[in-house]
Amino acid sequence: MRKWGILGGLLVALPCWVSAMNADELIAKNIEARGGLDAIRAIHSLERGGRLQAGGFEADVAEFKRPGKVRSEFSIQGMTQVRAYDGQDAWTISPFGGRKDPQKLSADDIKDLGIEADLEGPLVDYAKKGHKVEYLGTEDIDGTAAHKLRVTYANGNEAVYYFDPDYFLEIRIVSKSWYRGSAFEGETDLGDYERVNGVYLPFSVASGAKGSAQKSTVTYDRTEANGDLADSLFAFPQGAKP
């Protein structure tokens, strides 16, 4: 009787073992939900535009991506701020701070921009890219038992990704980056997914400091895949002093 009692307990627990998620299974479900590996790899460039709302003001935003390269900008009152990375150098133009000339960015900034510049996303072939992943179970996110995945990037920064349990798309990313030896934690909420060239992309992105009620929200209204984006769009402007 004792043996049957133990066996019965194991049989009851078996479905929990079978249904348990691991990191690779979660990543596979996410890649499939996004549109599949072939569709993801078929996108060679991405150009997006929309509106930024933050602190009571609105601005036009644009984002350009190629493998290993990224450029983002927002414009208001006739001035445009630029932040770009060409795979080697990162730079910015910050007219709102009185700097109209291009300025090189620090090695810490390059870390974040390198992750942004990964057109496939860091979860695709994560091991080949030197990233490490760890499944952390689930956590309630606005009433949803979201799956959690910690990603430690090859550059030392890290993030926790939250996935919708039904659709397996990212709904939140909590990042941790280091600047001059100090840690900064950011939080990004993703939503309003739409399909672009067979791949689902978020059309609403709200970001800010972790735990802050005030977030800047970008709402994209146009996205074009596989357009011709020149290298000069990402490179440090010729003739400018570093």
Domain membership flag for residue 14 = no
The predicted structure's pLDDT at residue 37: 98
CA nearest 83: which of 66, 62, 68, 98? 62
CA–CA distances in Å: residue 186 to residues 70, 80, 172, 233? 19, 24, 11, 27
Domain membership flag for residue 211 = yes
Instruction: For residue 234, count other CB atoms closer than 10 A to its CB.
Output: 23
As given in the structure block, the two tokens for residue 183 are: 């840690």
Domain membership flag for residue 5 = no
Write out residues in the chain with pLDDT < 70, as ranges: 1-20, 239-242
As given in the structure block, the two tokens for residue 75 are: 């414009």
The count of structural domains within the chain is 1
Domain membership flag for residue 26 = yes
CATH of the domain at 70: 2.50.20.10
Domain membership flag for residue 192 = yes
Name the residue range of residue 146's domain: 22-233
Q: Dihedral sign for Cα 49, 208, 77, 72, please.
A: negative
Domain membership flag for residue 4 = no
The predicted structure's pLDDT at residue 213: 81
The predicted structure's pLDDT at residue 222: 96
Instruction: List, in sequence order, the alpha helices (H) in the chain.
Output: 2-19, 23-34, 37-41, 107-116
The predicted structure's pLDDT at residue 181: 84
Domain membership flag for residue 49 = yes
The predicted structure's pLDDT at residue 123: 98
Q: Which helix (H) or strand (E) holds 194?
A: strand 182-196
The predicted structure's pLDDT at residue 205: 98
Domain membership flag for residue 217 = yes
Long-range contacts of 183-191 (CB under 8 A, 24+ apart): 184/209, 185/209, 185/210, 186/210, 187/211, 187/212, 187/215, 189/215
